Amino acid sequence: MNVDDIKKVTIVGSGTMGNGIAQVFAMNGIDVNLVDVKQEFVDRALATITKSLDRIVKKEKITEADKDAALKHITGSTDVSVAKDSQLVIEAITEQLDIKLKLWEQLESVCGPETIFASNTSSLPITQLAAATGRADKFIGMHFMNPVPMMKLVELIRGIATSDDTCTLVSELAKKLGKTPIEANDFPGFIANRILLPMINEAVYAHMEGVGTVEAIDEVMKLGMGHPMGPLFLADFIGLDVCLAILEVMHQGLGDPKYRPCPLLRKMVQAGYLGRKSGRGFYDYSK
């Protein structure tokens, strides 16, 4: 298989990452099945994609005809078996290992032997996910960044058995989508989150210990370090529950106490303060 043979892709998980990935494929003329467990989730994702495309039209980066063409490339579904005719399946569901493993076992029984499998996991072991299938050589991590339509980076993570052909094919595909693929080895957190999440975690500690207010910490990192947004604002954007889950994976997988999640972060997640998506995190978004 070469990159031009990829005509249809199935994306399982229609949340922030899944709908963003679907949009990028559709804008590049590739048919997409966007699958989730409930029709309301699929409908919400399609509405989100439409709004995103409307913003791009308003900026005059694409035309109304381009938007309509992209939307025609996306088909929503609640049935994972639609993946049977896809050349590539990308999983973008919740960061819970047992749920992902169960899904990959299901997809293995649905898809033909030549289908490439990719996970958008931000921290879980690709080798372990691949072991739930019978095609570890055709399994790879394809970690997009949020917001997917804007961010150029795609981390490519090879499992222990991922073939050179699979890595080359997926790398070429990422470039076809206008992204820049960067290879990372299969360690907890890969490259991006291995560096980013400890910084966010330390910012939470600094706030908890009274070193600075939320605003002060974020402004110091923006004005002093040239970051486009502060770490606590970024944590809200990512989702505090997602940040906690990634830190827990790194803490458990690497066994180093420096990855221990800050108690304040854990407490906020327990309270339901998850960031922008819940209306409250380190900042108040209810207004």
Please list the active-site residues: 122, 143, 155, 193
CA 108 – CA 104 distance, rounded (Å)? 6
Nearest to 62, CA basis, from 21, 28, 33, 19 = 28
Rounded to whole angstroms, the maximal C-alpha distance in the chain is: 56
Both tokens assigned to 40 = 């309301």
Q: What backbone torsions phi and psi does residue 114 show, to the nearest 5 degrees?
A: -90, -10
The side-by-side arrangement of strands in the sheet containing 31-35 is 74-77, 31-35, 8-12, 88-91, 116-119, 139-144, 153-158, 180-185
C-beta separation of 216 from 282 below 8 A: no
CA 237 – CA 47 distance, rounded (Å)? 20
Q: Is 162 helix (H, G, I), strand (E, B) or coil?
A: coil
CA 14 – CA 24 distance, rounded (Å)? 13
